[in-house]
Structure 1
Amino acid sequence: MGDATEWRPDVLGPGFDQLTLTIEDDDEGEVVATLVRHTAGASGEAAAFARRRWRWPWEREEEPERRPAASRCDVLFVHGWSDYFFNPELARFWSDAGARFYALDLRKYGRSLREWQTPGYMTDLAVYDEDIEAALGVITREGGPEASARPLILVGHSTGGLTLSLWAARNAGRAAALVLNSPWLEFQLSGIGRQAIQPMIGFRARLDPMGPLPNVDLGFYTRSVAKELDGEWEYDHAWRPDRGFRTHPAWLTAILAGHATVAAGIDVGAPVLTLVSARSVLQATWDDAMLTSDIVLVVDEIARQSLKLGPNVTVARIDGALHDVFLSREPARAAAYAAVTRWLEGYAPRS
Structure 2
Amino acid sequence: MTVWREDVLGEGFECTDLDLGSDDEGPLVATLVRSLPTPRGFFDRLFKHGRLLEDVDVLYVHGWSDYFFQRHLAEFWTSRGARFYALDLRKYGRSLREGQTPGYIENLNDYSVEIELAINVMREAQDQAQPPRRLVLFGHSTGGLVLSLWAGAHPGRADALILNSPWLEFQLSSTGRQVIMPLISLRAKSRPHEVAPQLDYGFYTRAQRQVGPQDEIAVINTVWRPERTHAVLTGWMRAILAGHAQVTHGLHIKAPIGVLLSSRFVLPMRWSEDLTRADTVLDVEEVAKAALKLGSSVTVERIDGALHDVFLSAEEPRREAYARLERWVEGWRAADRATRRWES
User: Structure 1 length normalisation: TM-score?
Assistant: 0.90
* Counterpart contact for 2:211–2:313, Cα < 8 Å: no
The corresponding residue for 1:298 is: 283
Give 1:289 deviation, angstroms: 1.1
* Alignment map for 1:240-259 (pairs within 5 Å): 240-259=225-244
Residue number among 191, 209, 221 corresponding to 2:204 in the alignment: 221
Q: Secondary structure at the match of 2:127?
A: helix
Give 1:330 deviation, angstroms: 1.8
* Alignment map for 1:22-41 (pairs within 5 Å): 22-39=19-36, 41=38
Give 1:331 deviation, angstroms: 1.4
The 1:24/1:9 distance shift into structure 2, 3 A limit, reads: same
The corresponding residue for 1:59 is: none
Percent of matched pairs sharing the same residue: 52
Q: Secondary structure at the match of 1:139?
A: helix
Cα deviations by residue, 1:208-241 (Å, 9 ceiling, x for unpaired): 0111111111100110123xx5543120000001
Residue number among 118, 143, 148 corresponding to 1:135 in the alignment: 118
Q: Secondary structure at the match of 2:231?
A: coil
The corresponding residue for 2:9 is: 12
Give 1:52 deviation, angstroms: 9.0
Return the letter of the residue paired with 2:188: A
* Counterpart contact for 1:168–1:269, Cα < 8 Å: no
Return the letter of the residue paired with 1:302: V
Q: Secondary structure at the match of 1:257?
A: helix
* Alignment map for 1:81-92 (pairs within 5 Å): 81-92=64-75
Cα deviations by residue, 1:162-216 (Å, 9 ceiling, x for unpaired): 0000000000000000010000000001111100100000010011011111111
Count of equivalent residues: 332
Cα distance in 2 for partners of 1:281, 1:70 equals 36
* Alignment map for 1:1-351 (pairs within 5 Å): 6-39=3-36, 41-42=38-39, 46=40, 50=43, 67-146=50-129, 149-226=132-209, 231=212, 232=214, 233-234=217-218, 235-348=220-333, 349-350=336-337
Q: Secondary structure at the match of 2:327?
A: helix
Give 1:140 deviation, angstroms: 0.3
* Counterpart contact for 1:166–1:268, Cα < 8 Å: no
Cα distance in 2 for partners of 1:68, 1:119 equals 39
Q: Secondary structure at the match of 2:225?
A: coil
Give 1:5 deviation, angstroms: 6.0
Structure 1 residue ranges (4+ consecutive) displaced by more than 4 angstroms after TM superposition: 49-54
Cα distance in 2 for partners of 1:84, 1:244 equals 12
Cα distance in 1 for partners of 2:135, 2:2 equals 23
Give 1:39 deviation, angstroms: 3.1
The 1:205/1:161 distance shift into structure 2, 3 A limit, reads: same
Cα distance in 1 for partners of 2:6, 2:203 equals 32
Q: How big is the alpha-carbon RMSD for the aligned residues of Structure 1 and Structure 2?
A: 1.9
Cα distance in 1 for partners of 2:37, 2:53 equals 17
Cα deviations by residue, 1:57-88 (Å, 9 ceiling, x for unpaired): xxxxxxx96x5443310000000000000000
Give 1:50 deviation, angstroms: 4.5
Give 1:243 deviation, angstroms: 0.6
Give 1:6 deviation, angstroms: 2.1
Unaligned runs of 5+ in 2: none
* Counterpart contact for 1:70–1:344, Cα < 8 Å: no
Q: Secondary structure at the match of 2:243?
A: helix
The 1:330/1:41 distance shift into structure 2, 3 A limit, reads: farther
Cα distance in 2 for partners of 1:73, 1:39 equals 11
Range that drifts further, 135-144 or 100-109? 135-144
Return the letter of the residue paired with 2:21: E
Return the letter of the residue paired with 1:270: A
